[in-house]
Structure 1
Amino acid sequence: MTKPLILVTADVKTIDGYNWHAAPSTYLQAVLAGADAVPVILPSLGPDIPLDDVLDQIDGVLATGSRSNVNPGLYGEDATLENGPYDPDRDATTLPLLRRTVERGIPLFAICRGMQELNVAMGGALLTEIQDLQGRSDHRAPTSEHQDERFRIAHPIEIKDDSGLAKILGSEPVEVNSLHRQALGALGTSVVVEALATDGTIEAVSVKDARGYVVATQWHPEYWVRSDSPSQKLFEAFGRAAAGYRVKRLGL
C-alpha cells in the first residue's frame, strides 16, 4: 500500500443490545476523497488498546465530531443531564490517544468534539451550552431533517495572519458551518488560537512547537469536502502531512 493510513476515532453506540464502535461515513469519505488516504476506525476500548502498537502502524489521526460531549468531570466541572449525552469509553480512549499522537509527532486533524478533546487532553477546559452565555451566538445546528441544511455554511471566521491555518487557507475570507453547544474555554498547555468567530468563540487551534502537523477546527470541513474550497484545502493539507510522515516512518 502506498496511500497513508489514517486512524479515525469512534463513538460507542448501543444498538440491539450490542455496543457498536462507529464513525460517521462523512469523515471516512473525506479521508478517502479529500486526503487521498485510507481510513481505519479505532475502537473505543480505553486502556485495553495498546496505543503505541497501533500508532506504530499508521500515518495520521482524525478525531471526529460527535453528538456526545466530553464529560465535564475531566476538566474539573460537574456533569449534568442537560449537557449530555456523554461517551465515557470514547473519552477514555481518545484523550490519551491525542496526547500520544502529539507527543510522537504524528499528523493530527481534530474536528468539533475532536478539537474539544485535544484541548482537554492538553489540560484545558471547555465552556458548556455556550448559547446560554452572555454575548455568545447560538452555534447549534438548525433544526432540520435534511443534513445539507444542518451543515449549511453559517458564519464567517477571522483567521490569525501568522497562523498555520492561514498558510493552508490563504488570505481569502472563510465562512464555516456551526453545529456545537460546547466550545473551548481555558486553553490547554501549548494550545494556541488560530481562528475566532465574531462572538469570540474559538474556531481553530494548533499546538505550539508540536513535533508534527496539528490542526483542529470547531466546524465541520468533512461535510463539504467535495464542493467547498477551504474544506478541500484542509483535507489536502492533512493528506500531504500524512503522506510525508509515511515516507519517514517506512524509510521510503
Structure 2
Amino acid sequence: MAEKNGNWRPVQPLIAVSADVCELYNYPWHAAPHQYLEAAVAGAGVFPLVVPSLGERLDLDRLLDAVDGVMITGSGSNVHPSIYGGDASEINGPYDPARDSTTLPLICKAIERGIPLLAICRGIQEMNVALGGTLATEIHERPGMLDHREPSNENRDERFAIRQALTVKPKGYLSGVLGDSNIQVNSLHRQAIDQPGSQLEVEAVAEDGTVEAVSVRNARSFAIGVQWHPEYWVKSDRASALIFRAFGDAVRAHAAMRIGIKNATE
C-alpha cells in the first residue's frame, strides 16, 4: 500500500503495453487505444506503460526487469504475412512492421521469463506467430465460416456488442479463470489462428471452429491470448472482468515474488 494525502491506496504494479505506429497531425505516433489502458487500470488494477515500437533498438530485457506484466493490444493492422510464410496483399493490410518487430520478441521474452501476459485480438495473432504458428487471412471468405468482422455501425457500443457464442475447453486454464464452459463475447476480426504454435493450447472456439482463445502450455505464469475484446465491457461483463482480474492478480503475484527475491538477496 502507498500513502497519498493521508489516504492509503493499493500500489499499482507496472505493465508494458504494445503501441501501434500511426499517422496523426502529419507525423508518426506510437499509441495505444484508450479502452485497453482504462481496462488495465480499472479492471486489473495495474499501471500501464505504453512501449514505443522501435524494435531491436529497445533493450526489452531491461524493460522486463522493470515491469510485472505485458499486455498486447488489438489493432486495425495485421501481422505481416512474410513473418509466418504468407503472402502480403493490399486487401489483407494495413500492416505495422515496426509493431511486429517489437511485440513478437517481447512476447517470447515475457513467456521465457514467466512474466504475466495478456494478448488481445491482434495480440493473440502476434502471440501465435511469435511461437511459430500461422494465421488464416480473410476468414469470412472461407466456406462454412461465420463473418467475424466488425459490423458497419457508427455506434461503437453496437459494434462491440456481445453477440457471439464460444465453447471454452473444460478443465482448461481459461475455464479455471471464467468458471464456465459457454460464454458470449464480442469477437471482431478478419483473420485468425490457422496452425497454432507448438507451445499453445487451444482454450476456446467459436461455433465455426475458429480458435478464439489460447494459453501457453506449461507457462510459469498467466499467459493467455483471446481473439475477442474483454477490454471494452470490463466494467459490466462478468467474463471480461474475470479475465482482467486474473491478469491483475498474476501481475501482483509476480511483483510480490520479485520484491521477495530482491529483499532476500540484500
Q: Give the TM-score category using the shorter length.
A: over 0.9
Q: Does 1:159 align with 2:168?
A: yes
Aligned length: 252
| Structure 1 stretches of 4+ moved >3 Å | none
**Which secondary structure state, in structure 2, belongs to the residue aligned with residue 53 of structure 1?**
helix
- Mapped partners of 1:213, 1:172: distance in 2: 19
With normalisation by structure 1, the TM-score equals: 0.98
Task: Report what 1:233 is aligned to.
Answer: 242
**CA shift at 1:171, angstroms?**
2.3
- Mapped partners of 1:148, 1:97: distance in 2: 31
- Mapped partners of 1:151, 1:159: distance in 2: 20
Q: Does 1:127 align with 2:136?
A: yes
Task: Report what 1:56 is aligned to.
Answer: 65
The one-character-per-residue Cα deviations of 1:185-214 (angstroms, maximum 9, x if unpaired) are: 111121110000010000100010112210
Task: Report what 1:221 is aligned to.
Answer: 230
**CA shift at 1:249, angstroms?**
1.2
- Mapped partners of 1:191, 1:248: distance in 2: 25
Matching residue within 95, 110, 115 for 1:106: 115
How high is the sequence identity, in percent, across the aligned residues?
Answer: 53
Residue identity matched to 1:149: E
Task: Report what 2:6 is aligned to.
Answer: none
**Which secondary structure state, in structure 1, belongs to the residue aligned with residue 38 of structure 2?**
helix
Task: Report what 2:7 is aligned to.
Answer: none
Using CA pairs under 8 Å that are at least 6 residues apart, name the structure with larger relative contact order, 1 or 2.
1
The one-character-per-residue Cα deviations of 1:92-148 (angstroms, maximum 9, x if unpaired) are: 000010011100000000001000000000000000000001111000011011110
Matching residue within 91, 99, 106 for 1:82: 91
Return closer, same or farther for 1:133/1:172 CA change in 2, 3 Å cut-off.
closer
**Which secondary structure state, in structure 1, belongs to the residue aligned with residue 174 of structure 2?**
helix
Unaligned runs of 5+ in 1: none
Residue identity matched to 2:92: N
1:1-20 equivalence runs, <5 A: 2-20=11-29
**Which secondary structure state, in structure 2, belongs to the residue aligned with residue 142 of structure 1?**
coil
Structure number with greater Rg is 2
- Mapped partners of 2:56, 2:155: distance in 1: 37
Task: Report what 1:174 is aligned to.
Answer: 183
Unaligned runs of 5+ in 2: 3-10
- Mapped partners of 1:218, 1:44: distance in 2: 22
